[in-house]
Chain A
Amino acid sequence: MIRAQRYEPEALEEIYETYFDAVYGAVFARVGDHTVAEEVTGQAFLKALEGFPKYHHLPGGLHPWLQYLAARELRAHGWQPTPGRHPVHEVDEFRAALAELTPEQQEVLTMRFLVGMPVEEAAAGTGRRRGQVRALQHRALQALRRLLAAREAA
């Protein structure tokens, strides 16, 4: 990380090769669109470059931080499921319901289940305590259940 903070090309390349696929995969799973996933993931890595000098060791390491940056970039990108479009696939229906959650709930569910991080890493990546992450994921799943039920009823 110290080498990355000096922007040594070899260190940056190593970070990219280690984490790009995981971050890209999580973003794509949420949007189902390669163009958006490429744009959001690229922006997340560029934001990471800007943040390297201020980055200090986090218990979860670099991966949770990159996932957190990607979640924020997705929110900043303003991606939403196409309104009025009838979902052609069950996954699209599920993504649309996920997108209706609050940004914090989406972040936690992404880290915990899409990426498969333990509670500790998700807490480190989002800057929350472990208890807060557990409570947030619980509320997020309850809300998602309600949203899916409402969609089925409609």
Chain B
Amino acid sequence: MLVESTPKQLEEALSRRREGASLAGATGLTPAAGELEHLVALAERIERMPKEPAPPGARDRARSRFLAAGDHHRASWVHQHRLPHRTARHPAPHHPFRNFFLLGTALVIALVGGAGLALAAGLSEPDGQLYPVKTMGQRVVLALTSDPVTKAGTEVDLANQRFQDAEGMAAKGKGGLTVSSLSAYYSYLRDASARLSGKAHDARWKQVRDRLLAVKSKTPTEVERGLSEHNDTVHLGQVRQLEKDFAADSKRMDLALGLAPPAKSPGNSVDSPPSPSPVP
């Protein structure tokens, strides 16, 4: 009875044969030894089949085809993975001072633009688009001034400007802007007076004080007339109230600025406004 071998038996027999065992020794004494001997012999017959090397011409031809195809694949691979950067057809010339030139141009534009804006804002009136820019710039200048006397001088100048603004707005019949400008005028006067009080009465101080008194002595007659001509009674009343409020403060300001109160005379009423006489 023919007994068939198993794959495992065959593999073991092949291993033993490679280790140098005889054919009979490799297959052992298993019942399938007969078949195993035939199978191992067949495997060895396959191993002995002639493996001739390729003729030189065939080898070179195959090599050339293989490497040429490799070049083609490499070209595709490079195209897919490493696209070269495309350079511009007309690259921009790079001058060594190009950056400085650009920076200088930007600076000039900024200076010219800024100066133009500042000039336009400086000429603007309360009803102009750039008036907020003008007042903001003035506030910045004030904030950057640290010396109290100098600051008071600047506030006197600004008070004078606000007074002129109030007159201009009243003439145009713009009551709201007239009131706000006049309110700013009085505020600057109060601030300047407070800043001067208590400081050394040197020549510079006296110069600022005299300018303050000159600006303070202005009466809003033109303002009231302008609002009256436009029948703006509401804002006219507000202007008069501002004037009245300041009149009370004005006396205290005079005292703080070293002005002697007027000498009481029998002809003078107690309620009559003082006529301060500046201390020399």
Contacts and interface: CB of A to CB of B under 8 A. Distances in A.
Interface of A: 6-9, 12-13, 16, 20-21, 24-26, 28-30, 32, 34, 37-38, 41-42, 45-46, 49-50, 52-53, 91, 94-95, 98, 109, 112-114, 116, 119, 131, 134-135, 137-138, 141-142, 144-145, 148
A29 B58 CA distance: 16
Interface residues of B, dominant DSSP: helix
A41 B63 CA distance: 10
Given A142-B39, A145-B39, A34 B10 contact: no
Contacts of A13: 67
A26 B51 contact: yes
Contacts of B69: 46, 49
B62 A113 contact: no
Given A134-B11, A137-B10, A34 B52 contact: yes
A21 B56 CA distance: 11
Contact of A42 (B8, B45, B47, B62): B62
B52 A138 contact: no
A141 B43 contact: yes
A141 B45 CA distance: 11
Given A7-B77, A16-B67, A144 B54 contact: no
B54 A24 contact: yes
Interface residues of B, number: 37
A114 B58 contact: no
Contact of A34 (B8, B42, B54, B65): B54
A114 B51 contact: yes
B50 A91 contact: yes
A113 B39 CA distance: 12
B42 A144 contact: yes
B74 A8 contact: yes
Nearest to A25: B51
B11 A119 contact: yes
Contacts of B44: 113
Contacts of B11: 119, 134
B73 to A, nearest CB: 5
Contacts of B10: 134, 137-138, 141
A38 B54 contact: yes
6 contacts: A7-B73, A46-B69, A53-B77, A94-B49, A137-B43, A138-B39
A94 B54 contact: no
